[in-house]
Chain A
C-alpha cells in the first residue's frame, strides 16, 4: 500500500517545491543514489528518487524518464531550470532538510519498508 506524495512529504519532513502529480501519485518505494545510471535504472511510476545531485543531469532525468517524484537532500536550493522542468513534466520535487542517510531512514519508516 503506497502513500500519496503529499502524505509522504508530511511524514518525512520534506518540503514540496513543485507539486506535480503529488495528489494523485502513490509511492511504494524509493531509491537513493548520486549516480545517474543507478537512478535511470530504478525509475518506475511508484518510485521516489532521492539524490544529492543538483546538476543538469537531474533535469534530464525528469525530462526523459517521466519520473513521478524527486527528493533533493540537505535543504538544497534548486535552480530555476530544474524547477521549471519539474513543473513542465509534472514531476513532484521535494527537498529534505536532512542528509541522504537520514532522508532514506525517514522514507523507509514512512513507507513501512523497515522490516
Chain B
C-alpha cells in the first residue's frame, strides 16, 4: 500500500530591478521551513541559496518566478526567469565573475559568488540557460540530515526463488559484482554499475529492474515519460502512432519520450566536440550505466566525458508537473528516478505492465506506410552497444587505440534502450523499425529538449579500492596475489565468485572462505 506523500507547493513572482522587494520570496520559504520544524542550520543553507537565486533574477532579468515544493524530506526550488541568459555557464560559476550593474554593486551585490554559493549550499543543483531567452536554475536541499542520494546506489533486483544457480550472471558481470553464496545470488553494491549484463545473461528472469505492477491513474496534469523503444514492442503491424493513441485513450494526455533529451544530448555533445573539447574522443553520457562504469573502471577517461547530465537525469530535472509516470526499463534509470523529488510525484511503472495494458487495447493493427531510413544525422558519432563491446571500446580508448573518432556514444544494452532485457521485440528489428517511422510519430512530440550541463565534475567511484588506507591496500593486494597462486585458475565460478582472483579478494576482504574452492586441493587442477 503506497501512502500519499504530503507536499507543500507555492509559487512567487519576482520582478527584475525591484531591489526593494527582492528577498520576499526567500522570506516565504523561510516561514515554510520554520513551520515544518526544519533544523536552523538547514534553514540557513536554504536561505543563502534561495536569496542568491532570487537576487540574480532581480539583478539580471526582466521578470521571473520561484517555484517551491517541500516534502518531509526534501525542498525543491526552481527559479526561472525571462532575461538575457548566461552565455558561458562555466565562467558564470567561477568565484568572482560578475556582470552585475553598478546599481546592484552599490547595494552590496555583484561579488560574483552567487551561483557558486547556491551550489555549495544545496544538495543538488542544475542550471540551464538560453542567451536572449532566460535561465532556469533548480536546486534541492535535504531537510533531514539522514536523507541523501546515496541511499539508492543501485537498483538490480533479485528474485532468489527463480535463480537456477547456473552462474551465467557471475561471468557476465563486467565489474565482478555478482556472487552466488549458499546457492543464492548476491550483488556487491559498491561494484555494481547498474548495467543489464547480468539480467541479459539470466534466462530465468531472476535479475530484474522493478516497477509498479499496476498502472497509476492518470490525473489532469500527469506526464507519462517513455523510452521510444516502448513504442516498438507491439510487432511490425502496430505503429508507434497507434501506441501513442492508445496511451492517450488510457488518459495519458501528456506524453514525453526520453528521445527528446537523447536528441538534445546528441546535438549538444556534437557541438561540444567541435567547439569546446580539448580531448578526443568525446564520450557521450548517453547511458547512466556506462557513466558509472567509466567512473569505476576507467577513471582516466573521465575528462573525455562530455559535461552534460544523462538523458534520464535531464528528464527528471526538467519535469515540474505534479505527477509523472515513468516507464523505467533498466536499473540505471531506476536508480536515477528513485532519488528524492518534492516537485513531482514520480511513479515508476513496470514496462511489462504498461505493455500488457496497451496490447489489450490493440484492435485493428494497421501500420502506416514507412518512410525510408534517414541517414544518421551526426556522422561523427560512433555508437557502441552491449557491455562486452563497451568494455573493449573503453579499453581501446584508454590505450589510445580507438582510432580518430570525435564522439563515441555507448549504451550498456545492445542497440541502446531497444536492447533492454525487459523487452520482447528483438532490438535488431525494433530499432530500425522505429528509426524508419521516427519522423512521422515525432511530429506529435517535441523533438529535442533543452540539455542540462553538468556543474559537478564526475568523480571516480571508489568501488575497487581494497582499503581506505593506501599502505593497507597494498598489503591486501599482496595477500590477494599470494592467495590467487594457490587457486587452480579455472575461473569456473563454482565457489560463487566470478574468477579465482575475485575469490582470493573475497577471502582477503572477509567475504568468503578459501574452502569455497572445491578444486583447491585437487592435484589434477594444479
- B-contacting residues of A (Cβ < 8 Å)? 34-41, 43, 51, 53, 55-58, 60, 63-66
Q: Scoring B residues 15 to 49 as 1 if CB is less than 8 Å from chain A, else 0, what string do you get?
A: 00001101100110010000000001001100110
Whether B52 is near chain A, meaning CB under 8 Å from some CB there, is yes
State in angstroms the CA–CA spacing of A51 and B52 once bound together: 18
Whether B165 is near chain A, meaning CB under 8 Å from some CB there, is no
State in angstroms the CA–CA spacing of A53 and B108 once bound together: 7
In B58-116, the 8 Å CB interface with A consists of 106-114
Least CB distance from B49 to A in Å reads 10
Contacts of B110 in A (CB 8 A): 35
The 8 nearest A-B residue pairs measured at CB = A37-B113, A60-B23, A35-B111, A37-B111, A36-B108, A64-B47, A57-B108, A53-B108
30 contacts between A and B (CB under 8 A): A35-B108, A35-B111, A35-B113, A36-B107, A36-B109, A37-B52, A37-B109, A37-B111, A37-B113, A37-B117, A38-B111, A38-B113, A39-B108, A40-B47, A40-B48, A40-B52, A40-B117, A43-B44, A55-B107, A56-B23, A57-B107, A58-B108, A63-B23, A63-B30, A64-B23, A64-B26, A64-B30, A64-B47, A64-B51, A65-B48
Interface centre among B51, B107, B109, B113 (most CB of A within 10 A): B51
Contacts of B112 in A (CB 8 A): 37
Evaluate contact between B114 and A37: CB separation under 8 angstroms: yes
Beyond the given A35-B108, A35-B111, A64-B51, please list 8 additional residue pairs across the A-B interface where CB-CB is below 8 A.
A38-B111, A40-B47, A40-B51, A41-B48, A63-B23, A64-B26, A66-B43, A66-B44
Evaluate contact between B27 and A41: CB separation under 8 angstroms: no
- A34-B108, A35-B108, A37-B113 known; A56 vs B19 contact (CB < 8 Å): yes
State in angstroms the CA–CA spacing of A14 and B44 once bound together: 27
State in angstroms the CA–CA spacing of A14 and B110 once bound together: 29
Evaluate contact between B51 and A66: CB separation under 8 angstroms: no
Contacts of B22 in A (CB 8 A): 56, 60
Least CB distance from B212 to A in Å reads 41
Least CB distance from A74 to B in Å reads 15
Evaluate contact between A63 and B107: CB separation under 8 angstroms: no
State in angstroms the CA–CA spacing of A37 and B19 once bound together: 15
Least CB distance from A11 to B in Å reads 27
Contacts of B40 in A (CB 8 A): 66
State in angstroms the CA–CA spacing of A82 and B111 once bound together: 23
State in angstroms the CA–CA spacing of A57 and B40 once bound together: 21
Evaluate contact between A65 and B107: CB separation under 8 angstroms: no
Evaluate contact between A56 and B26: CB separation under 8 angstroms: no
- A37-B52, A41-B117 known; A65 vs B44 contact (CB < 8 Å): yes
Contacts of B106 in A (CB 8 A): 55
Chain B, residue nearest A39 (CB): B108
State in angstroms the CA–CA spacing of A87 and B115 once bound together: 31
Interface centre among B48, B106, B111 (most CB of A within 10 A): B111
State in angstroms the CA–CA spacing of A72 and B106 once bound together: 16
Chain A, residue nearest B95 (CB): A37
Least CB distance from A58 to B in Å reads 8
Chain B, residue nearest A53 (CB): B108
Chain A, residue nearest B26 (CB): A64
Chain A, residue nearest B116 (CB): A37
- A37-B113, A57-B108 known; A63 vs B44 contact (CB < 8 Å): no
State in angstroms the CA–CA spacing of A57 and B109 once bound together: 9
Contacts of A40 in B (CB 8 A): 47-48, 51-52, 117
Q: Which listed residue, B48, B52, B107, B111, touches A56 by the CB 8 Å rule?
A: B107
Least CB distance from B209 to A in Å reads 42
Contacts of B19 in A (CB 8 A): 56
State in angstroms the CA–CA spacing of A3 and B109 once bound together: 31
Contacts of A64 in B (CB 8 A): 23, 26-27, 30, 47, 51
Contacts of B109 in A (CB 8 A): 35-37, 57
Q: Which listed residue, B27, B111, B113, touches A63 by the CB 8 Å rule?
A: B27
Least CB distance from B43 to A in Å reads 8
State in angstroms the CA–CA spacing of A65 and B42 once bound together: 11
Contacts of A43 in B (CB 8 A): 44
Least CB distance from A88 to B in Å reads 12
Least CB distance from A110 to B in Å reads 25
Least CB distance from B34 to A in Å reads 10
State in angstroms the CA–CA spacing of A60 and B48 once bound together: 11
Evaluate contact between B108 and A41: CB separation under 8 angstroms: no
Evaluate contact between A60 and B44: CB separation under 8 angstroms: no
Least CB distance from B112 to A in Å reads 8
Contacts of B20 in A (CB 8 A): 56
Chain A, residue nearest B55 (CB): A36
Least CB distance from A19 to B in Å reads 21
Contacts of B47 in A (CB 8 A): 40, 64-65
